[in-house]
């Protein structure tokens, strides 16, 4: 059974600081997705990582994928309050799409002014 | 196209009643997924369709849960004889397959069972 673990589950940080969220998964996969969820809202797609070594950046967020280590990171640079949200990583089994995405529990991020 | 839409957005029901949720996917998407999300957890996969075919349903939580997508467009998720433990957000997502596998989520239908 595919397991996806995120670390940390809760993070409070100050504006202007840098931090990294980690996503580990238990079985082979070559596709990983990052989503953002605001309170009471649905999930917004942030990044789609489709191969080993993939790196995507959007504004202050950068995501990377290491399929050999079964690890993805979401790096936040010079955090701003608007980035406060819950961030989920999700993985699909290699061979893809058969069972939908398996999500981690999410990282609840609070950025304080 | 305005994205994935779900109806109703909120449903309050009494234990033992049946409820049905509807999902309209992005029009050109051939895959449609149902997830459940409880407070503080990530979405939990329930079932999915490719066009009108339901390709995976073993993850439906019990035989009280069923889903249909009769014409390969909108889908319904029905919960029979609701229990308090069914209270959750039910999320629908769609995707274009084969492609990146990226799912696009609707706003969700929040169920409260009293």
Residue A93 has pLDDT above 70, yes or no: no
Residue B58 — pLDDT band, cuts 50, 70, 90?
confident
Tokens of B95: 């995707």
In Å, how far is A113's CA from the nearest CA of chain B?
24
The pLDDT tens digits of the residues spanning B16-27 come to: 999 999 999 999
Select from A35, A43, A97 the Cβ nearest to the Cβ of B101: A97
Q: Report CA dihedral (B82, B86, B87, B90) to the nearest 10 degrees.
A: -110
* pLDDT of B114: 96
Contact partners, residue A98, CB within 8 Å, separation at least 6: A92, B55, B56
Q: Name the band, by pLDDT with cuts 50, 70 and 90, for residue A94.
A: low
CB pairs under 8 A between A and B: 63
Of B56, B101, B108, the CB nearest to A42: B108
- B105 contacts on A by Cβ (under 8 Å): 35, 42-44
Is a pLDDT exceeding 70 seen at residue A99? Answer: no
Write the pLDDT tens digit of every residue in A6-63: 999 999 999 999 999 999 999 888 789 999 999 888 899 999 998 888 999 999 999 9
CB contacts, 8 Å: B42 with chain A: 4, 88, 90, 103-106
Residue B73 per-residue DSSP state: S
A42 vs B: CB within 8 A: yes
Cβ distance B107 to A41 less than 8 Å, yes or no, reads yes
pLDDT for B59-87, tens place per residue?
788 899 999 998 889 999 999 999 999 99
Cβ within 8 Å, pair A101-B45: yes
| CA atoms of A81 and A110, how far apart (whole Å) | 8
B84, burial (CB in 10 Å: exposed 0-12, middle 13-18, buried 19+): exposed
For chain A, positions 47-106, list CB contacts with chain B under 8 A. 48, 50, 88, 90, 92, 96-106
């Amino acid at each position: 059974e595919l397991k996806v673990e995120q670390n940390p589950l809760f993070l409070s940080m100050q504006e202007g600081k840098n931090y990294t969220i980690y996503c580990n998964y238990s079985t082979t996969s070559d596709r990983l997705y990052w989503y953002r969820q605001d309170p009471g809202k649905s999930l917004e797609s942030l990044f789609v990582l489709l191969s080993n070594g993939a790196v995507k950046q959007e504004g202050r967020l950068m995501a990377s994928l290491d399929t050999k280590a079964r690890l993805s990171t979401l790096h936040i640079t010079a955090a701003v309050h608007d980035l406060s949200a819950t961030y989920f990583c999700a993985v699909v089994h290699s061979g893809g799409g058969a069972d939908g995405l398996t999500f981690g529990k999410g990282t609840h991020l609070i950025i304080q002014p | 196209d305005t994205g994935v839409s779900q109806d109703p957005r909120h449903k309050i029901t009494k234990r033992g009643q049946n409820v049905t949720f509807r999902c309209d996917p992005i029009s050109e998407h051939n895959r449609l997924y149902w997830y459940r999300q409880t407070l503080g957890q990530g979405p939990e996969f329930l079932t999915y369709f490719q066009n009108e075919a339901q390709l995976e349903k073993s993850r439906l939580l019990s035989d009280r849960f069923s889903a249909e997508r009769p014409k390969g467009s909108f889908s319904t998720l029905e919960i029979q004889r609701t229990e308090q433990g069914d209270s959750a957000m039910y999320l629908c997502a769609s995707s274009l397959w084969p492609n990146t596998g990226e799912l696009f989520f609707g706003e969700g239908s929040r169920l409260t069972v009293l």
